[in-house]
Amino acid sequence: MYTAARRPIRVLAADDSAVMRGVLRKLFQTYAQNQSKQLPDMKLCGVAEDGVECLSAVLALHPDVLVLDLEMPRMHGLDVLERLRVEEPGLPVIMCSSYTERGARATLDALAMGAADYVMKPSKQEGFASAIETLSSQLLPKIAALAGAGFEALSGVRAKTTQQVVAQSSYPLSAESSSACARVEIVVIGISTGGPSALEAMLPKLTADFPVPVMIVQHMPKLFTGELAERLDRRCALRVREAYDGAEVRPGTIWLAPGDAHMEIAHCTTAKSAGRQAVVQLHQQRNLNSCKPSVDYLFSSAACLYGAGTLALVMTGMGSDGLNGARSIHQTGGVVLAQDEATSAVWGMPGRIFQAGLARNPIPLCALANELTARVNAPRRPREISVPKRAPQWQNRIADSSPRTGVIHGLL
């Protein structure tokens, strides 16, 4: 139970759908009556029906967090966000997005403009009670994290908006980046809240001759990961593709896990590959750490296949997904890096890595690409890829679990 003595987090919601506004009102009323809260107290301080009314309400009510719809009359959500970045740059904004291609593109634009995070609108088919349950599990933890101090003691995270990110361009490369004892053969990245804008800042700095493959798990629904891959591909010298089952893992391509499947690295056993070529393996095991895709699956498979040749990076995000996989990489002699607190939208995932002693000095966002490049290009002894004898025990325990889906479709 959360018992910290502080005023409730004040939330303003802007949505032109009367049904959605009703769902949000009921959500906060239900949460206020919850006697076993695992999050800080929070309340809906106001509701706006369009973009113009939203801007006025922000200035009048001074909320701690804004939940902002995209498609609204009089002023589009993106136009509202653009004004807020000037007038209220410190206000965390969570976009409320529909599960459509247009909604995905607009949401990624919003994240690039400074929105802190997003949630999917429940579908029309879900029903009132189900919609409240969906938003309770998705929206409330994000509000708590992005509001800052009230949630920090509970989860070990500290949140800030994109505009509060500290740039540290003079960050020196770590000493071991130029003296690694094992040849880096794969870079694996885990990222969540704040991820799209962070990836857009980092990945274009990797040059076309980056010598090893890169694989990324970003917590997003399927339609969104496809749009994100296309967006990054237009900005990067390396190819960026949404992963598919059986895709060859080779230098020159960044593989982004699709939002409806877990992604691992596996041996290709065809005669043509002579047992050395690695491929993408997608599967539908149950959600892990409430996530699909899960960073733990990717990291653990990299540890099994590449061992000390694995270079892992944990970037901005809520929760602890990736922690067990990072331990596997560390135990096999691989290197784990973590983004620093100052440049993370939420220092949950990288903070857990640092607190567990799996990464040394956290690295600011602006220096991550140089750090990765220095490590993969450092003089190293080559090594052979070995076939894993067995999966880590934590993975074996879930191997027989029946699959289930966790993506919410549609909108109100």
152 falls in which pLDDT band (50, 70, 90)?
very low
pLDDT of residue 388: 45
Spatial separation of the C-alpha atoms in residues 257 and 217, rounded to whole Å: 5
Whether the pLDDT of residue 194 is over 60: the answer is: yes
**pLDDT band at residue 147 under the 50/70/90 scheme:** confident
The pLDDT of residue 373 = 97
Angle between helix 365-377 and helix 195-202 axes, rounded to 10 deg: 50
> pLDDT digits over 338-360, tens only?
999 999 999 999 999 999 999 99
Residues 66 and 103 in one domain: yes
Question: Do residues 245 and 200 share a domain?
Answer: yes
Return the half-sphere exposure (C-beta side, CA atoms, 13 A cut-off) of residue 74.
13
- Examine the domain organization and report whether 281 and 320 are in the same domain: yes
Domain that holds residue 333: 175-396
Mean pLDDT for 93-97 is 94
Are 197 and 156 within one domain? Answer: no
73 with 140, same domain: the answer is yes
Looking at the structure, do residues 288 and 378 belong to the same domain, yes or no?
A: yes
Residue 272: band (very low, low, confident or very high) from pLDDT cuts 50, 70, 90:
low
Tell whether 21 and 130 lie within a shared domain: yes
- pLDDT above 90 (res 38): no
Task: State how many domains the chain has.
Answer: 2
**Residues 221 and 83 occupy one common structural domain:** no
Report if residue 406 sits inside a domain: no
User: How would residue 1 be classed by pLDDT, with cut points 50, 70 and 90?
Assistant: very low
Answer whether residue 374 is part of any domain. yes
The dihedral region occupied by 97, where left means phi > 0, alpha psi between -120 and 50, and beta the remainder, is beta
Kindly report which listed range (16-20, 163-167, 230-234, 349-353) carries the lowest average pLDDT score: 163-167
Give which of 260, 23, 16 is closest to 126, Cα–Cα: 23
**Which residues, 6+ apart, have CB-to-CB distance to 329 below 8 Å?**
188, 299, 302, 303, 310, 312, 335, 336
CATH code assigned at 35: 3.40.50.2300
Neighbour-count burial of 112, counting CB atoms closer than 10 A to its CB (0-12 exposed, 13-18 middle, 19+ buried): middle
Residue 2 lies in a domain: no
Q: How far apart are CA 39 and CA 1, in angstroms?
A: 8
| 35, part of any domain | yes
Mean pLDDT of the 251-267 span: 96
What pLDDT score does 37 carry?
Answer: 76
For residues 220 and 83, state if they share a domain: no
Over the stretch 287-340, which tens digit does the pLDDT of each residue have? 999 899 999 999 999 999 999 999 999 999 999 999 999 999 999 999 999 999
Residue 380, domain member (yes or no): yes
CA 72 to CA 95: how far, in whole Å?
A: 12
352 occurs within a structural domain:
yes
220 and 88 part of one domain:
no
Domain end residue (candidates: 131, 163, 195): 163
Question: Which H helix or E strand runs over 69?
Answer: strand 65-69
> What is the SS3 assignment for 292?
coil
d(CA 108, CA 361): 30
Average pLDDT, the chain: 84
Catalytic site residues?
Answer: 192, 219, 321
What average pLDDT does this structure show over 76-91?
Answer: 94
Q: Is residue 405 part of a domain?
A: no
pLDDT above 70 covers a percentage of the chain that reads: 79
Q: Which of 75, 56, 74, 100 is CA-nearest to residue 66?
A: 56
- Give CA separation, 172 vs 84, 175, 178, 337, 370, in Å: 34, 9, 12, 14, 10
Q: State yes or no: pLDDT of 180 exceeds 60.
A: no
Residue 239 maps to which CATH number?
3.40.50.180
pLDDT of 42 reads: 93
H-only helix segments in 14-148: 18-32, 51-61, 77-87, 101-113, 128-147
Contact 146, 152 (CB under 8 A): no
Query: Cα separation of 401 and 285, whole Å?
Result: 6
User: How many Cα atoms are found within 13 Å in the side-chain-facing hemisphere of 143?
Assistant: 30
Q: Do 313 and 189 form a contact (C-beta atoms < 8 A)?
A: yes
Structure confidence at residue 103 as a pLDDT band (50, 70, 90): confident
Backbone CA torsion sign across 8, 163, 222, 297: negative
Does 152 share its domain with 266? no
Coil/strand/helix, residue 186: strand
Dist CA 254 CA 49 (whole Å): 41
Residues 107 and 42 in one domain: yes
Residue 177 is predicted with a pLDDT of 55
pLDDT band of residue 34 (cuts 50, 70, 90) is: confident
> Exposed (0-12), middle (13-18) or buried (19+): which is 3, by Cβ within 10 Å?
exposed
123 within a domain of the structure (yes/no)? yes
Q: What is the pLDDT of residue 268?
A: 81
